[in-house]
Chains A and B, each alone.
Chain A
Amino acid sequence: MESGIYHTTYEADMALRRTPIQKVRLAAVIAFLLIFPFFANSYYLTLANQIGIAVVGALGLNILVGYTGQISLGQGGFLAVGAYTAGLLATRLGVPFWLTIPIACVVTAAVGGVFGVPSLRLKGLYLAIATLAAQEIIQWLIVHWDAVTGGVEALVVPHATLFGFNLNAGNSDFHWYWIILAAAAFTTIFTVNLFRSRVGRAFVAIRDQDIAAEVMGVNLFTYKVLAFAVSSFFVGLAGALTAHYRLIVTWERFTIETSITYLAMIIIGGLGSVSGSIYGAIFITLLPALLNSLGRSLSGVVPGIAGLIPMIQQGVFGLVIILFLVLEPEGLAKLWRDVKDYFRLWPFSY
């Protein structure tokens, strides 16, 4: 809370960015995002695009896990539904890319909603296992239903064109940057709005005290299934973007490991936090890249380290998650809030 600032109408009081500092900070971030691609080389653009897609997927997962309190290990499976739906529509039926994306979102939302039905009866560990089943069923279907999905063969997706412009030709990372930025911005704004109004409030109420929510008139079944569907909608968006951006879809990218990586993003970033989802997506996407370049620069000094990088990566990954769970359960978002609070009162820290 910024002290000393009063708002005269409820509209102003309910606005998102309320103080000049917040507005300036937001403007700076937007300016950076708009200028960045003109100066970044393709390595950084690729990283930025990976981050953008991860932001969409992490926000989707956080809607379900962090905000509604329904644990999910099915993230990889739902990403796969989005990616395969978009990829197959484009490959087999020649549906234009811009149309495959909303269809993929809706299909994934429906699939997510169906796998959300057990959440009415199951909680915690039991729900985790049910969603793990979703993950495995989807993966099994992709591998074994090869007449449609191509099975273990990689699905090669045709180039995406928009108004006759080939997005995947030439400086494709630069083109996709804008598409992915738009998707991430839309997802962010949608999520922020959702959780400052009726439906999002019902989700959070279910997480905090489901019985009280029900007694206050929230239909638990509808809202739990809805949370799965909304979450999966955005996870499907992330999957569909991956398909068209990478031009190749394989089941190996959507295993339980992917589910856990995404859970790591929202745990490290902050459960039930929009900014946390973004920080987490950035952190987890950059971590392997950082470790890689660290390994490369050390390989002269410590021979053979390059071969160990994947293992070190796993270790650091696990360590970071454990550290956050133990030391800062509210994640990077909380850490950042603490830093801000410290400086708001500085130098009078009482």
Chain B
Amino acid sequence: MTTAPSFATVSQLAPGEPQLVVEKITLSFGGVTALAGVSLDVRQGEIRAVIGPNGAGKTSLLNSISGLYRPQQGRILFHNDQEYNLLERRPDQIARLGVARSFQNIELFRHMTVLDNLMLGRHIHMKSNVLDCGLYWGRAQKEEVRHRQVVEEIIDFLEIEAIRKKPVGTLSYGLQKRVELGRALALEPAILLLDEPMAGMNVEEKEDMARFILDINEERGVTIVLIEHDMGVVMDISDRIAVLDFGRKIGDGTPDEVRANPEVIKAYLGEDHG
């Protein structure tokens, strides 16, 4: 019997220590400035929401953290066993540091099954090379079985047992969102970046998703960065909220502080009501 490693976090930090520090990043596309000198810190173990109107730069911020966009100015530091400058790293290297994410417009591997999507999440934890895989002797097979056990734990946790052999392209929107969360979890992240995980869901699906996010955060100690438009959910589950508008940060604090911030109210309700 091999004991199954559980998908616990790999972070070496104590709760509350700064884990991700975004320092004055500026990102522009030609004439469009998506982020203008945005600074933000994320502490180990918290649920950190990022909100803002459409086009505020929320997705651009996540893309900069995961290495898909390259801000022209600023720094993004990630702390674990040591300090890493994320701007010097490729997306796959950033993933290896324990940074996982989901996408606003689901980016699953459509033709692969739920199982295979989650197994791909184990990629960085596996070692088999092309020869091991092609010959499927000893090492590769043992490794597949061992990581299948981890993936099955996640499948149980997300309650998607019934669909594990289905190609994800055939699943409903809500289930695809859940599978995408599973794939990110399979990476055993220290920090999880979620880009509108509840968008387009019905109330029941949203409740499930909120419960999963809370469980991942509380029971596994995974730090969460959450972009979400549903204010009810955001105010409910996040520890701190940053507010972006036109690429600038216009507010930051606890839900109560943000709710009372006049600039935030103005950005959300429009000039007329300000």
Contact = CB atoms under 8 A, between A and B. Distances in A.
A170 B206 CA distance: 74
Contact of A194 (B108, B112, B133, B183): B133
A23 interface: no
B91 interface: yes
A10 B149 contact: yes
B229 interface: no
Interface of A: 1, 10-11, 14, 190-191, 193-194, 196-202, 204-205, 207-209, 211-220, 226, 230, 272
Contact of A208 (B90, B94, B111): B111
Contacts, number: 116
Contacts of B149: 10
A212 B109 contact: yes
Contacts of A14: 144-145, 148
Contact of B91 (A190, A196, A198, A214): A214
A265 B126 CA distance: 34
A216 B112 contact: no
A10 B145 contact: yes
Size class of the B contact interface (CB-based, 8 Å): 35 or more
Given A199-B129, A216-B124, 11 more contacts: A14-B144, A193-B135, A196-B144, A197-B132, A197-B144, A201-B119, A204-B116, A208-B112, A209-B110, A211-B107, A214-B95
B110 A219 contact: no
Interface in B231-260: none
A198 B123 contact: yes
A230 B131 CA distance: 10
B134 A204 contact: no
B66 A215 contact: yes
Nearest to B107: A212
A217 B112 contact: no
Given A215-B101, A216-B95, A198 B133 contact: yes
A11 B145 CA distance: 7
B120 A190 contact: no
Contacts of B140: 193, 197-198
Contacts of B124: 216-217
Nearest to A200: B133
